[in-house]
């Protein structure tokens, strides 16, 4: 009886630690995603998504679905530095114009976990030098973002980064878009999980 109780408690704790939500990437192919640009987006044999920059300044690997209010978590490893990030409520208009907000990513000093707005094309939240130290160069990092209405929050490796209210970004609708800067940018992604709120 005691062993059964202990085993049950372990299962409960394991379940509590598992991320809640939907896997955005199936680890096999790019079903559910659309590429805009000429970046290389491939699936490694171990199921990891690999994005490599092309010749255009920025490419975007976009979900085919739109997400308005959600919690997103993922892990990333920058093997070759460059401009990258995740746009939320994003889209490209018929003239090629970029819209949406972005959780910024890149090497140290590139505002990791900060917020960029393509509404007015400026950084609306810049991380401090102390926050920037949280990024682990050459290692896997975890990012979490909660986007609800105009309230935007981010965490990098469990440390709070952004916590802002931005009304223009709150009015947008669109897709999730992984930004891939031009070559030699190379970023690995895994455990992309979204939970709609």
Digit-coded pLDDT (tens) for 172-185: 999 999 999 999 99
User: In the chain, how many domains are there?
Assistant: 1
In a domain, 174, yes or no: yes
The H or E element spanning position 2 is helix 2-17
- In the three-class reduction of DSSP (H, G, I as helix; E, B as strand; rest coil), residue 8 is classed as helix
pLDDT greater at residue 68 or residue 120: 68
In a domain, 17, yes or no: no
For the segment 23-39, the average pLDDT, to the nearest whole number, is: 95
Rounded to two decimals, the pTM is 0.88
Q: What is the DSSP letter of 95?
A: T
pLDDT tens digit sequence for 42-52: 999 999 999 99
Q: What is the DSSP letter of 158?
A: T
Cα dihedral sign, 148-125-174-195: negative
Token match 């044999």: residue?
45
Please tell me the distance from the alpha carbon of residue 76 to that of residue 34, in angstroms, as a whole number. 19
**61: domain CATH number?**
2.60.120.560
Look up the domain containing 176 and give its range.
Answer: 23-196
Please tell me the distance from the alpha carbon of residue 150 to that of residue 31, in angstroms, as a whole number. 30
The H or E element spanning position 130 is helix 129-132
pLDDT at 58: 94
In a domain, 151, yes or no: yes
């Amino acid at each position: 009886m005691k062993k059964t109780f202990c085993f049950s408690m372990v299962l409960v704790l394991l379940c509590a630690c598992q991320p809640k939500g939907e896997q955005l990437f199936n680890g096999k192919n790019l079903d559910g995603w659309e590429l805009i640009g000429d970046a290389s987006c491939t699936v490694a044999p171990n199921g990891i998504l690999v994005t490599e920059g092309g010749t255009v300044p920025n490419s975007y690997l976009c979900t085919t679905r739109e997400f308005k209010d959600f919690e997103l978590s993922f892990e990333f490893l920058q093997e070759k530095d460059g401009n990258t990030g995740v746009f939320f409520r994003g889209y490209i208009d018929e003239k090629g114009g970029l819209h949406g907000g972005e959780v910024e990513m890149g090497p140290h000093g590139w505002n990791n976990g900060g917020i960029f707005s393509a509404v007015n094309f400026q950084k609306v939240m810049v991380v401090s030098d102390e926050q920037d130290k949280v990024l682990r160069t050459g290692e896997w990092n975890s990012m979490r973002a909660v986007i609800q209405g105009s309230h935007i929050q981010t965490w990098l490796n469990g440390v709070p980064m952004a916590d802002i209210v931005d009304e223009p970004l709150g009015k947008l609708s669109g897709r999730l878009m992984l930004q891939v800067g031009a070559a030699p940018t190379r970023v690995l992604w895994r455990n992309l999980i979204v939970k709609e709120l």
